[in-house]
Structure 1
Amino acid sequence: MTKVINKSKIAAAVIGMFAIAGSATATAQTDLRTLQNEEARVHEADRQSQDKVDSLFEQSQDLLYDYRAVVDEYENLKVYNDHVQTLVDDQKRSIESLQRQVNTIDETKQGVVPLMYKMIDALDQFVELDIPIHKERRQERVERLREIMTRSDVTTSEQYRQIIEAYQSEMDYGSGLIAYQGTLQFEGQDIAVDYFHLGRVAFLAQSMDLRNAWIFNNETKEWESLDDEFLSPLTTAIRMARKQTANDLVKLPIFAAESAE
């Protein structure tokens, strides 16, 4: 009986040990899973933290690139602004210079305009005293100059330019061999002639039939007939002026023109 009881106690003890062992194993497994879960969460947290670090690093790099770009742009803009400021300063000086010139325009006109009228009067007097080369044309030019002086749509500079141009034309009459056709009034008759002048040294005319010739006497302001001996030389001179024959020496009478006073 006693042996049976002991066996029962031994069996109960073994069962208790297995129960305790099973309970410990179960607890250990639970703790292991807990540790594994915690480790997993730690890894996930580390991964997330690393992702945040990587993201922040990329953002910092982008910001660094942007900063460098802004700095470069600032430097470029500074150089450009300095350049523009230089241009503005130069333009300002030019404007100030122009303004000073504008401020003196009225004073300049006060001196130039009377001078231009005097120049036109002198030109008119010169045409009247000069040998009558293209006299009507030259008189018309003088009248045209007087007319433009009364027009408000013609600037002072343009008026002055045309006066100077007229003086240049008068100078051109004083050089070279020139021949042109026209009408000569002699002894109450209008005669078709070839005019010829050697500068202002001589002014002659020859009828179109080559039978008569005249010379202008600047002292008497009259045309005078030429001897027949000058007909052929004058014909040659007219042809030379028109480039119809080579230049050569010819014998022609001369009356020197007087100077305008």
Structure 2
Amino acid sequence: MKNRRLYSKVLLPLASLLVIGAAQAQDVDTSDIERAQSVVGETNREAAESQNRINRLSNSSSSLFEEFKVESDNLEALLVLNANWRRQIAIQEQELETIAESIGEVRNVTQELPLLMNRMIASIEQFIELDFPFHLDQRRARIQFVRDAIDNPNVSTAERFRQILVLYQTENSYGRTHETYSTSLELDGVQRDVDMMRVGRISLTFQTKDRSMTGAWNPETRQWQTLDPAEYRNAVRDAINVSSGMIAPEIFELPIVAPELAQ
């Protein structure tokens, strides 16, 4: 019984102490927890702000890097473009030098060109007068037309020279063609209507409309020469018909002066 009472006496103070200690411990723990939570919250806020700053710096860094890449690409493109321009400028400078040399040559040619054109006209005019006498009025008219163009101040030098070249080309074409046309000739003091047959520049023959007279141009005597009707009347008439398209093409005979060997 004494022991039980002793234990009871001892337990009562201990229980009281535990209750008081628990109450005190409860008061101390609540305050510390609140302070700890406040510290944790502040730490979290600071961490969040730090993370935000890190994110902003990261985004800014990425943006700057992208801008750097764009500017770097632009710089590379400009360098390539600049190199191309330098090559083009070098080529253009060479072309300018060539043009300058050509201009100097053109000045010399321009000074000599009028004399050359006059000589060309005089040469072709002399050639026509010495050639077979076909279409003389037309050919002389072409020469006069070119002379008028040369004397006209409103006609450019290029156009004048072109007209001369056209004149030469026209005369040159006569050597590769044949034709038949009607004209009139003075034969034995009488003007007669004839059919003229030209084959290049190797033969120029005629026959009167009534076929009573057949002849050819003799380049040696530079006169019209009558031919033997029995030998050439039908041959010349057939040639005229072939050239004018009245009959089918065939081989025909024409009087041709044989070329001479050069001495």
TM-score, normalised to structure 2, is: 0.78
Query: For 2:176 and 2:23, how far apart are their aligned partners in 1?
Result: 142
The answer to whether 1:233 aligns with 2:243 is no
Aligned length: 242
- What code does the residue aligned with 2:62 have? Q
Q: Structure 1 residue 236: deviation in Å?
A: 1.4
Q: Structure 1 residue 73: deviation in Å?
A: 2.3
Partner SS, residue 224 of structure 2 = strand
Structure 1 residues 228 and 41, CA gap change in structure 2 (3 angstroms): same
Structure 1 residues 120 and 218, CA gap change in structure 2 (3 angstroms): same
Partner SS, residue 215 of structure 1 = strand
Higher relative contact order (CA 8 A, sep 6+): 1
Which stretch of the first structure deviates more once superposed, 229-238 or 151-160?
151-160
Map of 1:121 onto structure 2? 122
Q: Structure 1 residue 65: deviation in Å?
A: 2.2
State the Cα deviation string for residues 181-215 of structure 1 (Å, max 9, x = none).
Answer: 13213256554432112332321122344443332
- Aligned CA-pair RMSD: 3.0
Question: Where does the alignment leave 5 or more consecutive residues of structure 1 unmatched?
Answer: 1-13
Map of 1:90 onto structure 2? 91
Seq. identity, %: 26
CA contact (8 A) 1:181 1:192 kept: no
Query: For 1:152 and 1:24, how far apart are their aligned partners in 2?
Result: 126
Question: Where does the alignment leave 5 or more consecutive residues of structure 2 unmatched?
Answer: 1-15
Structure 1 residues 35 and 45, CA gap change in structure 2 (3 angstroms): same
The answer to whether 1:131 aligns with 2:132 is yes
The answer to whether 1:53 aligns with 2:54 is yes
Which stretch of the first structure deviates more once superposed, 23-32 or 126-135?
23-32
CA contact (8 A) 1:131 1:216 kept: yes
State the Cα deviation string for residues 50-108 of structure 1 (Å, max 9, x = none).
Answer: 12112211221222122122212221221122112211221221122112212332211
Q: Structure 1 residue 162: deviation in Å?
A: 2.6
Query: For 2:216 and 2:34, how far apart are their aligned partners in 1?
Result: 142
Q: 1:248 aligns with which of 248, 251, 255?
A: 251
- What code does the residue aligned with 1:78 have? L
